[in-house]
Structure 1
């Protein structure tokens, strides 16, 4: 009797916990901030999934104190969400696999985003609220558009 009551309570607790979880959160593993040197300055950066189709790249000037952060939202098609479609299409020789933009977020892209953020008005040495931008266009020649979160 005790085992059945315990099992029922555990199952109820697990169901309540599952209903609160976002189904896509398991696709991104939290990692410690990475470091990058851009134009002789050291920055920290992370990538966080916003939803299955967008990520936020967050960067800040590395050092003591709290500097103003740069947050850039961008479209990102997670390769694991499209794995079956791309694998099947490639096996058939189908060109539909190329419709997905399955590029990683590399340190080179982050360096370009930091430079673009500075050009767009982000001042990393200042304190204050984060500067929010959205990346628009292809990665080869993107531009940043300022926006307010909300």
Structure 2
């Protein structure tokens, strides 16, 4: 994750931008921002992700049947970002959205 790429996503006719950056070897931070109801808003969420490049040795030496339960290898996808946005919009009291 050498560079941060800004991506675009549309949820319920609202455009958002999002990025993923490394927080530490076991986590990434997903940042989402856009225009929501006339206010600039931002969502930031820490997501578990064991980077295969950083964890190559432990991954290949783990029992193949246990890799999925020991390591979080699913990358952040637009589908996950959409779920994060919908969840934050459904529960605005949680404070997930920051102005």
Into which bin does the TM-score normalised by the smaller protein fall? 0.7 to 0.9
Give the 3-state SS of the residue equivalent to 1:95 in structure 2.
coil
Structure 2 stretches of 5 or more lacking a match?
none
Greater percentage in strand: 2
RMSD over equivalenced CA pairs, Å? 2.5
Displacement over 6 Å in runs of 4+: none
Q: Report if the CA contact (8 A) 2:5-2:20 is conserved.
A: no
Q: Name the TM-score, length of structure 2 as normaliser.
A: 0.77
Count of residues in Structure 1 that have an aligned counterpart in Structure 2? 93
Please, which runs of 5 or more residues in structure 1 have no aligned partner? 1-27, 123-129, 132-150
Give the Å deviation of 1:103.
0.4
How far does the alpha carbon of each residue in 1:118-145 deviate from its partner, in whole angstroms, 9 at most, with x for none?
12217xxxxxxx63xxxxxxxxxxxxxx
Q: What CA distance in whole angstroms lies between the structure 2 residues aligned with 1:40 and 1:75?
A: 29
Instruction: Show CA shifts across 1:69-126 (max 9, x none).
Output: 111112221121221222344xxx643323212101001100111111112217xxxx
Matches within 5 A, 1:20-35: 28-35=1-8
Q: Give the Cα–Cα distance (whole angstroms) in 2 for the partners of residues 94 and 53 of structure 1.
A: 19
- Structure 1 position 85 matched with structure 2 position 58: yes
Match of 1:114 in 2: 85
Query: Is residue 45 of structure 2 the alignment partner of residue 72 of structure 1?
Result: yes
For 1:75 and 1:114, the matched residues in 2 are separated by 17
1:57 maps to which residue?
A: 30
Whether the aligned pair in 1 keeps the contact of 2:4 and 2:21 (CA below 8 Å) is: no
Structure with the largest fraction of helix: 1
* 8 A Cα contact 1:60 1:70, kept in partner: yes
